[in-house]
Amino acid sequence: MLRPPEVRSGHVLHLLSGGDEFFPALVGAIDDAQHEVRLETYIFDFNGQGADVAEALARAAQRGVAVFVVMDGVGTPYLPAHWMERWRQCGVQWHRYAPFGYTGVLIPGRWRRLHRKLCVVDGQRAFCGGINILDDWLDPHFGALSVPRLDYAVAVTGPLVAQCHAVMAQFWARLQATRQLESLQWARVRQSWKAFRLLPPPSDAPGASKADDGSVLAALLLRDNVRNRTTIERSYLKAIGAAREHVVLANAYFLPGGRLRRALIHAVKRGVRVQVVVQGQYEYFMQYHAARPVLSLLAARGVEICEYMPGFLHAKVAVVDGVWATVGSSNLDPLSLLLAREANVVVHDEKFAGRLSGALEQVIQGHTRPWDLTADARRPWFERVFDRLAYGVMRLILLFSGRRY
């Protein structure tokens, strides 16, 4: 896996808020593709806006574009039969990453998931963020939603697109080699690994921009289980540690480890205003209850916890001092920071950070409620038991996974 690069100039970035902005931009880019489309996602749901993306991929393949799709085997447990046949006829190549099967949950090594959301079109344009290929108004577990998910992505051109392309191409080659190895297709294994070793470096990826004269500084940060185990977490720690005025985070599943908790508390002690937007609606037992003891601790130390109430929060974004910003797939929780493959774009630019900060300020002012320590302490005893139980189970899972957090 490639080492994450230093922040470089030469980028043009567009902040995309929710599926209403993201999906038209993504479908438009796929429809413009001439040579290749690579897409990775945790969830690929073939309804609503997801069907629009699936159809755009089919159209691209039909006109001779090479289309490669990877989706996570847990986030996407199956593909509808008619879509499998449609893609087969059109020539879309797809792969489900590490399905659990019947015993997968019992094997800690299988807990590693593909959680990043990336797309590269013709090696010239990339998309990165937290938005799955899933209609904002639909949920696989809750059905139709009255309020769309709150989430963000970025569309980007510039040098980091080449790194994104190389990472995705290498990952596809590894998946194909693994699949062929499992089928004992030795000749094809050798061919796949030869292709993997001969992939062009990032600067030579198809359509890569080699210019370094743009005004926007950005970098692609990855989290994997080989060489980039702590890249995204270190980026957050460095930015929070350098903050002097304001830190604002919006994170769907916020359960920071000791280092991140200390960084936030130390920032408050330095006089930095720290605001954290978290999920206010009950979605999943573990994430909801395990986070509450940590949120109460942070609130007691001066961190402003803001619960997003209208619907489901799915964003994974942050702004520090109106200059540093990140948009990506990584939650600040053990699964994302210790086990999952993640991708974030980090941006050093006042205009971009200002747009994201303004969007988050509107959310905080109009759609959140402040964490109430008194009300939290008065909750029924059994809810507090659930909190401790969920937190304990989370720690036990980490123990079995062999990771410290």
Question: Which parts of 103-151 are beta strand (E)?
Answer: 117-121, 125-129, 138-139, 143-144
Question: DSSP secondary structure string, 185-246?
Answer: -HHHHHHHHHHHHTPPPGGGSTT-------SEEEEEEEE-SSS-SSHHHHHHHHHHHH-SSE
Report the run of H or E that residue 199 belongs to, with start and end.
none
Q: Which H or E run contains 109? A: none
d(CA 269, CA 265): 6
Q: 314, 333, 367, 376: which one is catalytic?
A: 314
| 148 in Cβ contact with 363 (< 8 Å) | no
Clarify whether 115 is annotated catalytic. yes
Pairwise CA distance, residues 115 & 336, whole Å: 8
State how far the Cα of 241 lies from the Cα of 68, in Å rounded to an integer: 39
Examine the residue annotation and report whether 238 is marked as an active-site residue of this protein: no
117 part of the active site: yes
The one catalytic residue among 52, 122, 349, 387? 122
CA 149 – CA 279 distance, rounded (Å): 11
Residue in 14, 35, 246, 321 annotated catalytic: 321
Contact 9, 213 (CB under 8 A): yes
- Name the catalytic one among 52, 316, 367, 387: 316
The active-site residue, picked from 11, 117, 165, 367, is: 117
Amino acid at position 256, single letter: P
CA torsion through residues 360, 135, 35, 220, sign: positive
Q: Where are the beta strands (DSSP E) in 22-61?
A: 36-41
Catalytic residue among 11, 95, 115, 367: 115
Q: Give strand pairing partners of 221.
A: 344
Enumerate the active-site residues: 115, 117, 122, 314, 316, 321
